[in-house]
Structure 1
C-alpha cells in the first residue's frame, strides 16, 4: 500500500450507509482534517513507516485528533515494513515506529501491519515468523494490532493462503472493486469477515489532501 487511506462522498461509488475514512501519505493540516470531517469522513489511518522510510508519524496523527477526529478509535496508523538489509528486525521496526510517533506526542487506536508482496522474500515460513515477531512486539508495547492485506495478490504469495497465524486480529481488506461493502469478501487466512474495506486507491482527495485511498466499515 505504500500510502495511507481516505474516502469520499464526492465520488460516484456504490456504498451502503456506514462509515467512510481515509489513508494517505500526504501531509494534512488540522484545517484539512476539519474539512474532511465536515465532508463526512470519519476516520484516518496514517503510515508510520519503518527504519529507512520517510513518514509523518506524529504530525498527521496529531492533526487528525485536533481536526475533529477526536477519539483514538477514529485515528489509526499502519506500518509498511522494510525488508532490505539496512532495516533491522521485525521487532526493531515496530519498536522504532511506535516510539517515533509516541515521542512525537501522537497516539493511535490500532497499528495495522501491512502485508503486501512488495519486497518480501520467497520463504513463506520466514515471512510468517516476521509477521509473528511484529505482532509480538506490538503486544509487548501495549499496541492494538490489525493486519492489512488481501487474499490472492498478497497473503497467498507472502505466507500462504491458508496460514491463520494472526487470524485473531482484525483484517483491513484491500480490494479495489469500487464498492463500499464486504459482499465480495472470500474467507482466507482464518478470517471470515473484514473489519475495514479499502475499496479504491490513488484517487484525488477532497479538501486538497492529495492522492488518497478510500475506505469503509459498517
Structure 2
C-alpha cells in the first residue's frame, strides 16, 4: 500500500528550512543496515536516487536502494524522490524519444509501487543536439508524459515532474529564455556546489524560475563510515515556497492544454 505522504513533494518538511542527502548510487546497492548507519550519522529524512541511466536503461540499483531505505528506516524516511538522466544517443534499450523514456521510468515505478516526484536532469555534458528547439521538444515530451500519467492510469498513480539543472546547462541546452518547461515543472532543483545552504546565493533567474525549490550545494562526497563506492549530494530545501500539489498539477495541466491547443 502506498503511503499518503509520498504524494507530497519532498520539499515539505516540519521546519521551514532543511538540509538533506541525495545518493547517486548507480551500480552500488546500499543495504538496510547501511541506510540505518547513514541515517544515524547524517540524520536525513528525504532521499533522492537515480533510476534512469543516460546510457539508456532503467537503473535497477536505484529502485533497490529506495526499497532498502524504506525497509531500513521505516517512518524515519518521510519522503523519497527519483531522478532520471535522459539518453540522447546509442541508447541500450533503443528508446530514443522522451515519451518512451519517461514511460519506461513510470512503468517501473508503478511496478515497484513508488510514486512521487520525478526530476529530469539537464546537464550540458550530455550529448544534446546543437538544435535547441529539438532539445526543447524532447524535454517537454518527458515532462508532459510524467504530468499526465494520473489520467492514463485512472487515478491510481500520481507523479510530479521537476528539473535538475543550473543556468549554464539550461542556457546551453535549450536557451536561458525558454520558459515553457517551468510551467510543467515548477520545481527547480538547482545545482551549484558553492557550499551555501540557501536558495539565493549566486542564483540568477532563468527558464521561468525566479527561485529554486531545492539547492544542491555540495556533491560527489564519498567519504563516510557506512557504505563504500557511493557519491553523496547534499541539498537544501525550503517549505516556505511549497504549493499544494493539487494546485500545481491543475495549473500545469491547464497550461499544457492551452499550449497544445494554440499549436494546433
TM-score (norm 1): 0.83
More RCO (CA 8 Å, sep 6+) = 1
Moved more, 53-62 or 184-193: 53-62
CA displacement, residues 64-101 of structure 1 (integer Å, 9 cap, x when unaligned) = 22232648861000010001143321000011122123
Map of 1:8 onto structure 2: none
Distance of aligned partners of 1:102 and 1:71 in 2 relative to their CA distance in 1, 3 Å threshold: farther
* Aligned-residue offset at 1:41: 1.5
Distance of aligned partners of 1:87 and 1:119 in 2 relative to their CA distance in 1, 3 Å threshold: farther
1:83 to 88, 106, 110: 88
Whole-angstrom distance in 1 between the partners of 2:135 and 2:31 = 36
CA displacement, residues 101-155 of structure 1 (integer Å, 9 cap, x when unaligned) = 322x241420001111111111111111011100111022232111100002x00
1:48 is paired with a residue whose SS is strand
2:197 to 180, 188, 191: 180
Q: Report the aligned-residue RMSD.
A: 2.2
Distance of aligned partners of 1:132 and 1:18 in 2 relative to their CA distance in 1, 3 Å threshold: same
Which structure 1 residue ranges, 5 or more long, are not aligned?
A: 1-15
Map of 1:116 onto structure 2: 123
Contact 1:59 1:106 in 2 (8 A): no
Please tell me whether residue 45 in structure 1 is matched to residue 60 in structure 2: no
Distance of aligned partners of 1:146 and 1:17 in 2 relative to their CA distance in 1, 3 Å threshold: closer
Which structure 2 residue ranges, 5 or more long, are not aligned?
A: 1-15, 151-158, 239-264
1:148 to 156, 161, 164: 164
1:112 is paired with a residue whose SS is strand
Distance of aligned partners of 1:66 and 1:180 in 2 relative to their CA distance in 1, 3 Å threshold: same
Whole-angstrom distance in 2 between the partners of 1:212 and 1:91 = 29
* Displacement over 6 Å in runs of 4+: none
Contact 2:49 2:82 in 1 (8 A): yes
Map of 1:208 onto structure 2: 227
2:173 to 141, 158, 176: 158
* Aligned-residue offset at 1:159: 0.4
Whole-angstrom distance in 2 between the partners of 1:182 and 1:59 = 31
Q: Counterparts of 1:2-13 in structure 2 under 5 Å?
A: none
- Write 1 or 2 for the structure with the bigger share of helix: 2
Contact 2:117 2:162 in 1 (8 A): yes
Q: Counterparts of 1:25-44 in structure 2 under 5 Å?
A: 25=25, 26-39=28-41, 40-44=43-47
Map of 1:19 onto structure 2: 19
Larger Rg: 2
User: Aligned pair count?
Assistant: 201
Whole-angstrom distance in 2 between the partners of 1:123 and 1:34 = 46
Map of 2:209 onto structure 1: 191
